[in-house]
Structures are given as C-alpha cells and as structure tokens.
Structure 1
Amino acid sequence: MRHVTDKRADAVDTATGEDGPPALPATSWAVLGLLSFGEELSGYDLKKWSDWSLRLFYWSPSFSQIYGELKRLEKVGYLSSRMVAQETGNRDKRVYVITDAGLAAVRHWAREAPVEPPVLKHGVMLRMWLGHLLEADRMRDVLGRHREYAETMRQRAEGDAEETFGEEAWAYPALVMKWSERYYAAERDLADAMLADLAERDRRLP
C-alpha cells in the first residue's frame, strides 16, 4: 500500500513568496535537503539515501527524477558538481555538493513554506469502503496483508532509527524515523481494529 503516489511530489510545495527562492517542485526540495547535510553525493548515493530515509515517511524519487532535479538545481545555482575519477575500468562519476545559495534556499523553504495537511490516498481504506463488493474472507485477506506491510515498515523504521541515534548530523532524521515507527505501528493497530470490527459485524448478521 502506498498512501501517496510518487507523482504527488512534483505537484506540491511549488509556491514561494516574491522574496523567497524560485518556485520548485517538492522533489527539488527533497533532493536539495539530502545534500544539505554537507556530503558530496552522486545520483546513485542520493537514491540510496532517499530509499533509506525519505521512503519511510514521504516517498522515494526514481533515478530519472533525481537526475532531472540535479540538472534543475545546478542550473539555478543551488548545486555545483564535478567529475571524480574511478578505479580502472569504471566510468568516472559526477558528484554534487550544495552551494551557499542552495543551503539558504532550502533553509528558507523549511522555515517559511506553508504547513499543508498530509494527502491521504489509502488504497486499503478505499477497498474496505467497497466492502459490499467483496467477500468477507477477501476483506480479511487484504487487511492482513496491510497489517504485515505496516509491521515490516515499523521494524525497518525502528532499526534505522537505532542505527542513526548518536550521529549528531542525523539527529533530526533519527527523530523523524521514530515518528515513522509510531505511524506504522498505528497503521498496524488500525488494521487489527478493523479486523475486530469485521468480526463484530459478522456476529451481528442474521
């Protein structure tokens, strides 16, 4: 289950004030945010970092999205890049680093962007809403799979948070991973509650 599709990230957070940074999609701010921790990263590194952290609570951009945003951000002066020689037989790779202007822009966005309500597109809830078209066993199967997914993600968030605590540079991402852990625990518990509701409904049927 994915609450929000990947395409959503390109459709929000584009508005800025006249004195703020240029209008950019949320994907840009996510990529710029990954670089704001000060590391010099390749596109592959950015994908790996987003899969590790952003995916737990937002979404993970595809390689094509990442490279598209890197070109956009370098064009507006928020990133700089250079080629790094690799071992014999491997292609040189391009690595990116945030500029002072880019750091100022992402700081401004983080501080001043409007606080928007989360967008919920819960596929499992939609299928439960259509329960009159499903057999009871099928509804329980869907909920069981969702519960399994939520618990898997909860465990992943818990493990990543434990690995990150103690690293000062990742103090706030570690706290967000704890938030993610609690979120997936809540999704797991909500699935259990829905299963209990279905069982109660079955008992009340003639």
Structure 2
Amino acid sequence: MLEDQTLLLNQFFTLWAMLDPISHLPLFLGATADLTRQERRRAAVLAVIFSYAILLFFGIAGQHLLHAMGISLVSFQIAGGIILLLFSIAMVLGQPLSPKSPADDAGEGALGVAIYPLATPIIAGPGSMLAIIILTDNNRFTFAEQLDTFGVLAAVLGLLLVIFLLGDVIVRAIGPGGTNVMRRVMGVILAALSVNLILTALTGWLRLPPI
C-alpha cells in the first residue's frame, strides 16, 4: 500500500474525475441504444476490459516513449495539467467531452461498440492516458506504488462498470438534473487537481518550496 494515504486518495479522485463514470453514462446508453439488454451488458464488460488494457499499456510504456522522444516528464506534466484543466473546464461549462456515436449498424454487435466508441475515446481518451502516465511517474513512485495505482485504476473502472450495468436504474433515480450536477462537481475537483499538477511541476523545476 502507498504510505501516503493522501496521495492514494488524490490518485483515486483524479482517475474518478478523469474517467467521470456519471457523465459517461448517457454516452454509454446512447452508444448501446441499438443493442439488446444482454448485448449492452456484454459491451459494458468488454469496454472496461479494453480500457484497462489501453491505460495499463500507457502507464507501463508511456514514460519510456516520452524518454525515447526526448520529452521531459516535467514538460509532459505541465502539458498534461493544462489539457486536464481544459477538460475540466469543459465539464463545468457543460460542453461535450466525447463524441456520441451510437451504433448505426445493429449487426456491429457488442464487440464493435465496446471497442469504439466506448473503450476509446469515451473511457480511455487522451486525458485519461495523460493522467495515468503522470500518476505512474518512474521518478516519483516506486514499483509497488505504481502497482497500487493500477489497482486504484482497476477499482475505478470496476465502479464504472457497475454504473454502466445499472445505467437505466441510475438515470431514472437521479434524472438529467442530477447527472449534470455530478458532472460539474467532478469538473471542479478535476480543475483543482490539474492546477496542482502544474504547480507541482513548476515548483520542482524552479526549486521552489512545496505548495
């Protein structure tokens, strides 16, 4: 386990806000509108599995790819923080975050919908990839801590899967207004975490006292 429980919670809320299961629920329901109930459940499971595989790859190899391209992690952290900040602003302002692409051909089946648009770009989008690379920084976290991060990622995706599977019930329970409120709250939290990422990178680069 991570010794710093605050860091563990920070990672959980960063991934929760980034993956944003509540606001992705309408996208999931729209993308699987032409599927049967059984196909919809299969698409949800496959999408989460594919998303975890994609984010796991970026968590393991992402920093090595940056090194091969000559990009410092500080630069990537600042760029990632800015992108996450823009993403969070879109969440707060209610702008569309991901393309809504319902399955035009019902014969495409659960597998096709699970890969696109559910796994990518709805779940494992560019912002999520940036977040997992930053949260598994080889210079800041040990191998055991990185394993904890992948465990946190699995937990968040597991909760996302539960929400997808209970999608119809949740939508009826909280209504469109509740979904919008949750989306904006997650946006505010993500904005604060994004600013913290940028300031942390700047303080390390400029050798300033920790914020």
For the criterion TM > 0.5, the same-fold answer is no
Of Structure 1 and Structure 2, which has the larger fraction of its residues in helix? 2
By relative contact order (CA 8 Å, sep 6+), the higher-ranking structure is: 2
- Normalised to the residue count of structure 2, the TM-score between the two structures is 0.29
Structure 1 or 2, whichever has the larger Rg, is 1
